[in-house]
């Protein structure tokens, strides 16, 4: 199968990102080769658009901060309901499409470490795009959520019925501080049996939850955006982690 001319990561900071390597691993498993791995270091949508305009051919990109919101308006790409952000973009013949896989990746990563969303309580700090994506996916998978305010509160959304309103003093099954700084920033410990982080730096290992999640959400991107027709041929999460 032919792939894009380019694949990689966009945003800032991204020097530590495993995404280009993940593209190579999954693409190799599917027999896709020839794409050039790129790092589009961009602090704004204007910088991003200027850089990708010079790239001829199709383009598959994972997006991180600060580019998760602006593509919706500038590229007319809609994120999932309530999430209102994207972290995956595809440009084919000049036309853009995209989606958010942060939430699906988080649920898959939690399952990988033995915590099923269904019937489990997630204590979550923060209300940004990743928090909304995780809340939506966790609720859709049958889990409950105890939100904690950080820099931003979790607003109303498709997860409302999953909110555990009497969470004071309750030890959740899983805790996540989504206000941790990128590239390995320190997380606040929450009242939960297991605390995890989705922020990773250059020294992260495949055993770290943040790496498990980045691999899981990357596989979801192939499944839902890049090559949905090959969803059944994708490698497993374990296979991908073994190659990192």
DSSP string, 135-180: HHHHHHTT-EEEEE-SSSPPPSSTTGGGB-TT-TT--EEEEEETTS
Q: Are residues 127 and 82 in the same domain?
A: no
Mean pLDDT of 98-111: 96
Whole-number mean pLDDT of the chain?
91
Is residue 193 classed as helix, strand or coil in its secondary structure?
strand
Computed from CA positions of residues 96, 99, 101, 104, in that sequence, does the dihedral angle turn out positive or negative?
A: negative
pLDDT band at residue 182, thresholds of 50, 70 and 90?
low
- Are residue 95 and residue 146 in the same domain, yes or no? no
Give tens-digit pLDDT for 105-154.
Answer: 999 999 999 999 999 999 999 998 889 999 999 999 999 999 998 888 89
Tokens of 145: 């959520």
Whether pLDDT at 33 is above 70:
yes
* pLDDT at residue 183 tops 60: no
146 and 168 in a single domain? The answer is yes
Residue 43: domain span: 6-101+218-243
DSSP strands (E only) in 85-242:
88-92, 95-99, 121-125, 144-148, 172-177, 192-196
Q: What is the CATH number of the domain that holds 18?
A: 3.40.50.10860
Of the ranges 6-10, 167-171, 179-183, the best mean pLDDT one? 6-10
Domain presence at residue 211: no
Tens digits of residue pLDDT in 39-60: 999 999 999 999 999 999 999 9
Per-residue pLDDT for 169 more than 90?
A: no
pLDDT for 188 beyond 70: yes
How many independent structural domains does the chain possess? 2
What is the pLDDT at residue 184?
Answer: 54
Question: What pLDDT shows up at residue 19?
Answer: 93
pLDDT for 28 equals: 95
Predicted confidence at residue 74, as pLDDT, reads 84
Cβ(88)–Cβ(26) under 8 Å? no
């Amino acid at each position: 199968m032919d792939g894009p001319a380019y694949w990689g990561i966009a945003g800032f900071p991204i020097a530590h990102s495993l995404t280009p390597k993940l593209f190579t691993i999954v693409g190799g498993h599917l027999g896709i080769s020839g794409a050039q791995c790129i790092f589009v270091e961009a602090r704004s949508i204007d910088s991003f658009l200027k850089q990708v305009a010079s790239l001829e051919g199709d383009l598959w990109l994972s997006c991180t901060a600060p580019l998760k919101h602006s593509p919706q308006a500038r590229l007319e790409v809609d994120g999932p309901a309530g999430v209102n952000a994207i972290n995956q973009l595809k440009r084919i013949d000049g036309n853009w499409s995209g989606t958010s896989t942060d939430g699906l990746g988080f649920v898959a990563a939690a399952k990988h470490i033995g915590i099923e969303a269904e019937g489990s309580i997630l204590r979550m700090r923060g209300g940004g795009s990743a928090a909304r994506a995780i809340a939506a996916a966790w609720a859709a998978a049958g889990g409950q959520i105890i939100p904690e305010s950080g820099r931003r509160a979790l607003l109303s959304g498709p997860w409302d019925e999953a909110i555990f309103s009497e969470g004071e003093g309750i030890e959740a099954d899983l805790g996540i501080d989504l206000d941790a700084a990128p590239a390995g920033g320190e997380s606040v410990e929450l009242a939960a049996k297991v605390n995890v982080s989705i922020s990773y730096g250059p020294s992260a290992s495949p055993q770290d939850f943040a790496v498990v999640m980045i691999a899981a959400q990357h596989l979801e991107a192939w499944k839902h955006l890049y090559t949905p027709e090959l969803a059944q041929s994708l490698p497993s999460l374990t296979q991908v982690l073994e190659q990192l």
